[in-house]
Amino acid sequence: MKTHFINLVLLVLSTLVWNGCKKNTVPSNTAIYVPEVETMRFRDQKGTDCDSVYEDRTNCAYIDFDYPVVTTGTQALKDSVAKYVNGYLIGILTGGSPEENVKAATLEEGAKVFFATHETYNGSAMYGAFTASSGSDVVRRDSQYLSIAISGNSFQGGAHGSQTSLFATLDSQTGRKLTWDDVVKDKAAMLSLAERYFRKERAEIFTNGFDFDETFPFALPRNFALIQSGIYLQYDPYEVAPYAMGSSELMVPFSEIGDNLKLATAASSQQEDTGSAEDLFEIQGGQVVVPTFEIEVRTSARASQLLQKKKETIIVAAMFYGFPSDPKDEDETGQMGLMNKDIELSGNQRLARFEGLKFSKTELDKLKDKDFRLLINVYSGRKSSEDNLLSCGLAEVPASQFRGKRYSIQCNLIEESPNANDGPTISYALPSPGESTPAVLPLSVDCNERGELFWLGNQVKDIQALMANLRPVLEDLQKNGAKQLPGIQTNGCMMGTSGAVRDEYEALKNQLAKPTKTAAPAQPSTEPGKVKTSAKSPAPVKAAPASSSTTPAVTLNPKGEITLNGKKVALENLRKELQAALLRQATIPDKLDLKTTGETGMGMRGEVRTVIDESIDGAKWVRKKAAIEAMNAAVGKKLKTPTQLELASYQASGNFAYISARPKQADGKAIDYSKTDYAKDSKGKPFADHAIGLLKYENNAWKLLAYNIGVNTPPIEVWVKNYKAPKALFGNGQ
């Protein structure tokens, strides 16, 4: 039954996807909002042993809530979401007591009730550490509806904890919460349909003798939400079955509800065509080229230690799917699978790169929405055990959004924390190398468990330093004609930190909005030679100090002390300092050994090795981004228009790099070559929409040795001969 439930949850979760903006169907003078939602974090604790590992806590009350807040949208929607979410979370803290709920109008007041209850019962055999946690997702977001999902867990003594949830769909403009009367015409018919689906999905419990009775009658749940392809129904424990059977969830497709669906526009998101495949993706020989992306797996200290001890691997599983036009192509969840790809990570590897994947265009043509979806699931490789060891977040992203980006997924041990399954789904998404941060997307800032701030994966000292990094991004957007500046979102940050970041960011935007006299921006140098960072860079890439020929050396002694090149460094600072040291090298190594002096703890060794590997990956990413910016600057000048490169291939060998890409306008649209010198080649044939370049890193900068635009066959042999470039750099020359 456990396996069945895991599969069911994964199938249902795969339909919970973000939904983009839809066509405006109301008069143009009516303001229509597609709400922006940010995940906030509230964390507090009280007790004497809260810093111990979870299973060792006895005198601790611990709160860790992730919850949604509408940051852009109508005030009515903001207030409505805040009302429902606040009431739900306070109910977890007070145990749902109406008397206590009256006392607690805020999360801070609810926390006081929670801590007071713990002090009353602390010391009893049935009581111990109190926990309250929640995780949240947005399962639909468009100009019509906003659907939110929150799962909560709490333990306040007794034989077991409590699992609850809040699912709600609200009108994106008025904020009104939908009821079953709003969604279907005949609730009795919907009840019959839902029961049929429930019996099918939970067939094993009926086989074992369970059936609905007066104690557990079947009913439409209070928790439901409109999603991409249907209605998601969530039953908490005790709602239709005993606690031992856990929660139950199912999805009823809109196609099954048929004419009983009262909201004619509820299913519109799956019926709107997003355009042709050629407008979205590269097509090669009848196959769709899946955009390249990366998944970074972040493991907790305990998870890293256990994986190393058991010599266990990590599987990063990618499933590509969509919603077909013809119902006969649907599976039981109303979707159609396109392709699956698994990458196995061993040792200290934590980065999975998906590139070179293709599937038949015939399959894509079957989809109504050509912007197919990606679902990422991460679990242990089961080399040492039949059971999965890890509890990881899920990543679900439309294909048009994951191109060239890196997503981070947090993994803990299953037993490690009360909210392991609610850990951050996607903690950050890096802008595509070589392109400016789109003004329509919020900038993303991360926090770790210690409250430290990170921008583009690199730690910043404080909020003032963060603003100093964000200023040139906004200035570049203004120079490139952005009609509006992006918002900002924080991931994993405490509520106070999130508020401070937003306040400072708004002050920065207001400051930049004031008209000032500025000199015309200098055109970036694009001639072969040292190429400066493009004005379109999403973040400044500072020149590294003078190159060093000495490979960085990391040492760990039995006391747990770490040295980098003979200098002591704290573990939390190692990544930053090691990455800086690596960037001073002409060539970044693929591997760096950890030297140990004497007997050292396996867990500490594992953590340090993980940081070393992540530092190498981070340094390579920064170096790669600078190379693409150099190439982009040259192409933009040659085509006489600001460009961004749609990366097809990036290869690096030693201090050489080879880039193959398709130029696009700065706004992402195709370039009109009829207005350039490249409308046709020398033989009168149509221009090949492609650019290639060879670069060499020396004297702390990328030197663009040679590049071509509109040439189908790269002059590989010439470049190898003239510039002593390694032939392996070019792969098959495509």
The pLDDT of 174-190, averaged and rounded, is 91
Assign 485 a pLDDT band (cuts: 50, 70, 90). Answer: confident
The span from the CA of 456 to the CA of 473, in Å, is 12
Is the pLDDT reported for residue 34 higher than 60? Answer: yes
Q: Which two tokens stand for residue 107?
A: 């999360």
Assign 389 a pLDDT band (cuts: 50, 70, 90). Answer: confident
Is the pLDDT reported for residue 565 higher than 70? Answer: yes
Is the pLDDT reported for residue 548 higher than 60? Answer: no
Number of continuous H segments (helices) and E segments (strands) in the chain: 18, 31
More confident residue, 687 or 436: 687
The span from the CA of 70 to the CA of 81, in Å, is 7
CA quadruple 679, 680, 682, 688: dihedral sign: positive
The span from the CA of 21 to the CA of 27, in Å, is 16
Q: Which two tokens stand for residue 185?
A: 């015409």
DSSP assignment of 181-208: HHHBS-HHHHHHHHHHHHHHHTHHHHHT
Q: Are strands 230-235 and 248-253 parallel, antiparallel or unpaired?
A: antiparallel
Exposed / middle / buried, residue 557 (Cβ in 10 Å: 0-12, 13-18, 19+)? middle
Radius of gyration of the chain (CA): 27
Assign 293 a pLDDT band (cuts: 50, 70, 90). Answer: confident
The span from the CA of 570 to the CA of 577, in Å, is 10
The span from the CA of 125 to the CA of 105, in Å, is 32
Every domain of the chain with CATH number 3.10.450.630 lies at 623-730
Report yes or no: 349 and 367 within 8 Å, Cβ to Cβ: no
Give residue 215's pLDDT.
55
Give residue 734's pLDDT.
34
Range of 173-187, 393-407, 497-511 with top mean pLDDT: 173-187
Contacts of 714 (CB under 8 A, 6+ apart): 660, 692, 708, 730, 733
Is the pLDDT reported for residue 26 higher than 60? Answer: no
Assign 18 a pLDDT band (cuts: 50, 70, 90). Answer: very low
Assign 202 a pLDDT band (cuts: 50, 70, 90). Answer: low
Give residue 714's pLDDT.
55
The span from the CA of 605 to the CA of 308, in Å, is 10
Is the pLDDT reported for residue 253 higher than 50? Answer: yes
Q: Report which of 46, 41, 66 is spatially closest to residue 129, judged by C-alpha positions.
A: 46
Assign 439 a pLDDT band (cuts: 50, 70, 90). Answer: very low
Backbone φ and ψ for 595, nearest 5 degrees, come out as -90, 130
CATH topology of domain 623-730: Nuclear Transport Factor 2; Chain: A, (3.10.450)
Q: What is the DSSP letter of 258?
A: G
Give residue 416's pLDDT.
61
Q: What is the DSSP letter of 393?
A: -
Backbone φ and ψ for 46, nearest 5 degrees, come out as -150, 130
Range of 33-42, 667-676, 678-687 with top mean pLDDT: 33-42
Every domain of the chain with CATH number 3.90.640.20 lies at 178-272
Give residue 163's pLDDT.
76
Give residue 706's pLDDT.
83
The span from the CA of 513 to the CA of 601, in Å, is 54
Is the pLDDT reported for residue 273 higher than 50? Answer: no
More confident residue, 311 or 714: 311
- For 313-359, write each residue's pLDDT tens digit: 999 999 898 888 777 777 655 678 899 999 999 988 888 999 889 99
Strand partners, 407: 295, 429
Exposed / middle / buried, residue 496 (Cβ in 10 Å: 0-12, 13-18, 19+)? exposed
More confident residue, 614 or 494: 614
Report helix angle 463-479 to 495-513, nearest 10.
40
SS3 state at 339: strand
The span from the CA of 383 to the CA of 550, in Å, is 38
Percent above pLDDT 70 for the chain:
67
- Residue with the two structure tokens 């207001």: 510
Give residue 8's pLDDT.
33
| Among 274-278, 394-398, 414-418, 642-646, the least confident range | 274-278
pTM (2 decimals)? 0.41
| Among 114-118, 154-158, 407-411, the least confident range | 154-158
Give residue 421's pLDDT.
35
CATH topology of domain 178-272: Actin; Chain A, domain 4 (3.90.640)
The average confidence (pLDDT) of the chain is 73
Distances (CA, A) of 509 to 14, 17, 350: 37, 31, 36
Is the pLDDT reported for residue 305 higher than 70? Answer: yes
Give residue 711's pLDDT.
57
More confident residue, 104 or 314: 314
Q: Are strands 554-556 and 594-596 parallel, antiparallel or unpaired?
A: parallel
**For residue 456, is it left (φ>0), alpha (ψ between -120 and 50) or beta?**
left
Give residue 176's pLDDT.
92
The span from the CA of 273 to the CA of 145, in Å, is 19
Is the pLDDT reported for residue 266 higher than 80? Answer: no
Distances (CA, A) of 418 to 35, 155, 206: 31, 9, 30
Q: Report which of 353, 356, 359, 358 is spatially closest to residue 376, judged by C-alpha positions.
A: 353
Is the pLDDT reported for residue 703 higher than 60? Answer: yes
Give residue 271's pLDDT.
37
Give residue 572's pLDDT.
78
Assign 538 a pLDDT band (cuts: 50, 70, 90). Answer: very low
Distances (CA, A) of 75 to 26, 33, 124, 137: 20, 11, 46, 21
Contacts of 354 (CB under 8 A, 6+ apart): 290, 292, 293, 294, 295, 318, 341, 343
Every domain of the chain with CATH number 3.30.565.40 lies at 18-23+31-174
Report yes or no: 298 and 408 within 8 Å, Cβ to Cβ: yes
Assign 652 a pLDDT band (cuts: 50, 70, 90). Answer: confident
- Residue with the two structure tokens 């055109």: 523
| Among 144-158, 409-423, 585-599, the least confident range | 409-423
Give residue 169's pLDDT.
92
- Residue with the two structure tokens 């992306």: 293
Q: How many Cα atoms sit within 13 Å of 721 on the Cβ side?
A: 4
DSSP assignment of 397-448: EEHHHHTT-EEEEEEEETTT-TTGGGS-S---BPPPTTSPPPTTS-EEEEE-
More confident residue, 85 or 157: 85
Give residue 573's pLDDT.
81
Give residue 448's pLDDT.
66
Give residue 312's pLDDT.
94
The pLDDT of 215-236, averaged and rounded, is 80
The span from the CA of 270 to the CA of 323, in Å, is 7
What CATH number matches the domain at 18-23+31-174, 2.40.37.10, 3.30.565.40, 2.30.40.10, 1.20.120.420?
Answer: 3.30.565.40
More confident residue, 259 or 730: 259
SS3 state at 32: coil
Exposed / middle / buried, residue 608 (Cβ in 10 Å: 0-12, 13-18, 19+)? buried
More confident residue, 359 or 370: 359
The span from the CA of 291 to the CA of 355, in Å, is 7
More confident residue, 438 or 254: 254
The span from the CA of 171 to the CA of 80, in Å, is 10
Give residue 7's pLDDT.
35
Give residue 12's pLDDT.
38
